[in-house]
Amino acid sequence: MTGAAVAWPLADPVALLERSIAYTLGSLQLVTEESMDRATPCRGWDLRQLLAHMNDALGTLQEAALDRHIALVPAAGAADPESDPVAALCDRACRLLGAWARSGDPEGIQIGGVSMAAGIVPAAGALEIAVHGWDVARACGRNRPIPPDLAEELHTCATLFVSDADRPARFAAPVELSAGAGPGERLLAFLGRDSRA
């Protein structure tokens, strides 16, 4: 797949990334040392593991913005967020947003030698960041719905990015919802999360 072959439905994926980061920073404020060992909606991960995963993901997204490529093998020497994982993640999120805001470059991004439209990467990042922000809040015992407008746009992204081949390894089966479910519930259900639980 190349950038030229995909009609991208989002006008400003970097603005979407910014909104996802803002939402998730609110969830990160709920984290305490006591909550680090709590289970998350991500099967098999406690909150500490989820924060480490998020830190790695944001590092990869920053690499894409700065270097216009994503290596399939993580770079050595990444900062160790173990001393304060929340502070490290907040710092990385701000740096990530700054890198994408400054990039302004419409050229494609190489992922494992395949060229992707530049807008796909921050949109995929926005999806991951916001949904994991919801996961963080749930692990902390709080319900922080993803804002409806943001959830609606992220649901569009999710339907493009997540296929049946991603289930059940990366995502659980979609959750059945009532017809009146809101955008946030529909997004989470599509990704195998039950916001009612």
Verdict on whether the full-model pTM lies above 0.85: yes
- CA separation, residue 136 to residues 28, 142, 170 (Å): 7, 9, 18
Give the residue extent of every domain in the chain. Answer: 3-145
CA triple 109-168-55, angle to 5 deg:
45
Q: CATH topology for 3-145? A: Four Helix Bundle (Hemerythrin (Met), subunit A) (1.20.120)
Q: What distance in Å separates the CA atoms of residue 21 and residue 8, rounded to the nearest whole number?
A: 21
Tens-digit pLDDT string for the chain (197 aa)? 444 444 456 678 889 999 999 999 999 999 999 999 999 998 889 999 999 999 999 988 888 877 766 665 554 444 455 678 999 999 999 999 988 888 765 567 777 777 777 788 889 999 999 999 999 999 999 999 999 999 999 999 999 999 888 888 888 889 999 888 999 999 999 999 988 87
- Tell me the C-alpha distance between 141 and 152, whole Å: 24
On the 0-12 / 13-18 / 19+ scale of CB atoms within 10 A, 84 is exposed
